[in-house]
Amino acid sequence: MLHVSMIGCGAIGLGVMELLKSDPEVAFDVVIVPEAHMEAARPLVFSLAPHARVADRLEEQGQQPDLLIECAGHKAIEEHIIPALKRGIPCMVVSIGALSERGLVEKLEAAAREGKTQVQLLSGAIGAIDALSAARVGGLDSVVYTGRKPPGAWKDTPADGLFDLDNLQTATVIFEGTAREAARLYPKNANVAATLSLAGLGLDHTQVRLLADPGVTENVHHVEAKGAFGGFELTMRGKPLAANPKTSALTVFSVVRALGNRAHALSI
């Protein structure tokens, strides 16, 4: 059985526990939330993982989890993931957009080496990460990502105020630049760009276009990559998570897949 500690009890974390509550090979032992949110989190966690304990941090003594997974947002990486890696606890990270911060990837790698363990960056809302990583081995020439979402998905972002999101009549480019800048400005909407860049050409050499499009009701991701391997194009139309329209439902499913690959006898 895989004993898991999880950071976060929001839409992603609860969705993951819901899908895995009947899996006999995955056990959630600890769910980490800020101290101020612990009382509210306890009944939610108990309904899905009755044996799990809610805490504001991992204990430094006693039984350590087989795996710590971040489903809480960017701050959790510095606060919880890096210390856990240094202690030798394998980790998974969902909030890839956080790695647009200069030096944070290197901090993660250094912490994992210090603890003689590994941190896995999850694919989240996008596919073909395996193909892109393999293509990088032979040499990539270009990777271009275009993200297209309904105008409402860009509320409370830098685009809100710069554009009249409530009254757009046509698809409008709200950002064009590098993946690093996209992830910095739109961290809750541009994790895909950061994920693609870390699998491919890097944050400063992956090109990104973000559009607010009143003609779509789903999150549309388009990737075009070219290199020594040839080329590929991928288009995905992801439905948003019902509990959080800024999060793709596929993000939850990617976490469940990753945990299943760790816990089950057959992995793909």
> Could you write out the three-class secondary structure of the chain?
CEEEEEECCCHHHHHHHHHHCCCCCEEEEEEECCHHHHHHHHHHHHHHCCCCEEECCCCCCCCCCCEEEECCCCHHHHHHHHHHHHCCCCEEECCHHHHHCCCHHHHHHHHHHHCCCCEEECCCCCCCHHHHHHHHHHCEEEEEEEEEECHHHHCCCCHHHHECHHHCCCCEEEEEEEHHHHHHHCCCCCHHHHHHHHHCCCCCCCEEEEEECCCCCCEEEEEEEEECCEEEEEEEEECEECCEEEEEHHHHHHHHHHHHHHHCCCCC
Determine if residue 125 is labeled as part of a ligand binding site. Answer: yes
CATH topology of domain 2-121: Rossmann fold (3.40.50)
Determine if residue 191 is labeled as part of a ligand binding site. Answer: yes
**pLDDT score for 26:** 97
As a residue count, the chain comes to 268
Instruction: Pull the structure tokens for residue 92.
Output: 């998974």
CATH topology of domain 129-244: Dihydrodipicolinate Reductase; domain 2 (3.30.360)
Residue with tokens 């395996």: 130
- Tell me the per-residue pLDDT of 238-256, one tens digit each, with 9 for 90 and over: 887 777 766 788 999 999 9
Does pLDDT of 61 surpass 80? no
What average pLDDT is seen over the chain? Answer: 93
- Tell me the per-residue pLDDT of 80-118, one tens digit each, with 9 for 90 and over: 999 999 999 999 999 988 888 889 999 999 999 999 999
**For residues 189 and 11, which has the higher predicted lDDT (pLDDT)?**
11
Confidence band, pLDDT 50/70/90 cuts, at residue 153: confident
Q: Which of 51, 221, 222, 264 is labelled catalytic?
A: 221
Task: Write down the domain spans for the chain.
Answer: 2-121, 129-244
State how far the Cα of 31 lies from the Cα of 51, in Å rounded to an integer: 11
Instruction: Pull the structure tokens for residue 162.
Output: 């710069």
Q: What is the mean pLDDT of residues 198-206?
A: 95
Instruction: Pull the structure tokens for residue 146.
Output: 């275009």
| Nearest alpha-carbon partner for 69 in 1, 21, 5 | 5
Q: Is 222 a catalytic residue?
A: no
Angle between helices 191-199 and 129-138 (to 10 degrees): 40
